[in-house]
Chain A
Amino acid sequence: MRPAPVLLLLGMLGGTVGPAGAAPAIQPEEWRSYVEAFIGPEGRVIDTGNGGISHSEGQGYGLVLSVLADDRPTFERLWSFTATELMVREDGLAAWRWEPDSQPHVTDTNNATDGDMLIAYGLLLAGGAWDEPAYAEAAAPMIRTIGRTLLVTADGLPVILPGAEGFAGTEADARPVLNPSYWVYEVFPAFARLDPVIDWAGVGAAGLEILLRARATPSGLPADWVQLEEGGLVPARDFAPEFGYNGIRIPLYLMRAGIDAAHLEPFRASAGDGALAKVDVVSGEAIEPIGEPGYRLIAAAMDCLAGDGPVPGELRTLAVTSYYAATLQLLLLDHLRRHAPECLDGGAGP
């Protein structure tokens, strides 16, 4: 990894995160409570809603958030754990699942591509924020491997394979199984600068195309797991045909990446009583609300961006509930505070 492109990349990344030296958008107290609740001293992010396991997705979120919170020591902790405990795969990506009570701790050596993308993205952000080339040097092989081995073509679109094993097509059914919430839109420009051989922009566009195809379905939303066919979209075989905790990240990612707000419409429309819900995509019926504050902020933010005024006061600071809700909330608060502070201002105060 030659120094020149890396430095170029770091310079460009500065714009995404914020000018060097600017105060982080994540408050010290709320970051401290997040760390206390969800990050262990050995550097693992603890999924409190999932038996206390750790996974590559959590590590990726943790790395990104610690850069956004300008907490380099915690970043180092997280990266040390990630590298020594999860990066045992031959292809250099992370084994996705780590359990505290198992021996060995890694209980599934398959990768989870969204986790790998988040880890690589966190490393790129860190390299730019703290002027450290070693981080980007560590990210580059991961990004190259993802680009060359985990992107496939489905119904003519370049899509992300959720894992190296088990999601590609079979003899019986050649259509790969996809997860629309694995499209972390803000990473594609960064990946493209580091590895321009791969059409990352095309991958991003394919994600939006998937959302467009979903509009034609009864619920207007994509299921958490889908397959593409003949210009359309169907819920994936062997998965529940539901939009839920996976898909709820899609509007968050769209907002953070500054994608045209028109893409938010189906999500905004499906939210009732200020909360998104789990939806049966076949019938279009809501199943149950996804109610923790972190999730409700997503719906409230969409409403604010559509002109409905600021988000409710109680959603403007971190609620330390579950790892997942708290993580999504921090990511969205970071974005709103930097790019849409009016959504957090006035109205019913804290």
Chain B
Amino acid sequence: MSDESKGTAIICPACGAENLPGTLFCTECGIYLPSGGPLRTEPLPDEQEGATSRRWVQESTLGVNQLVGITIEVLESGRRVPLALEEGKEIFIGRLDAVHGIFPELDLTNDGGLGHGVSRRHARIHTKNGVCFLEDMDSTNGTYLEDERLTPYLPYELHDGDIITLGTMRLRVRLHKRAA
């Protein structure tokens, strides 16, 4: 029996609302729950892991006060994208390129990513031991954290409220801790 079949509520990574197991769109904020991220028109092919690992189940390995989600605000367009954080799972930021099989979790195409010099594979975010890291993926125009240019492939710790700059596109980070 998988963890999920014990039947605990799905906690929305964006707003914290409790949803019945099986819910696909959060009843409070409408976010697409299985990916914990935005639904463009449909979930993209690279997200087809087992349904169990994609759901946001309360009983995870995370303890109290652990990070559960991150909201990235694109300052230019005002768009806010809530994404789930999970140990060992990476959030790629860049521009979608279906032909080359690049499906970033945060796709900046519609925010004018190309004009701002965002690479298709620009940066990634991951968590380790409850700490959130940002890493530049040797992008053409560089990644900046609080206006400091990052050395490619070195993880830098992210804090709530940080400003990330990809090329010339500015993003604000909001970290969500799980309430006790």
Indicate whether A and B interact. no
A-binding residues in B (CB < 8 A): none
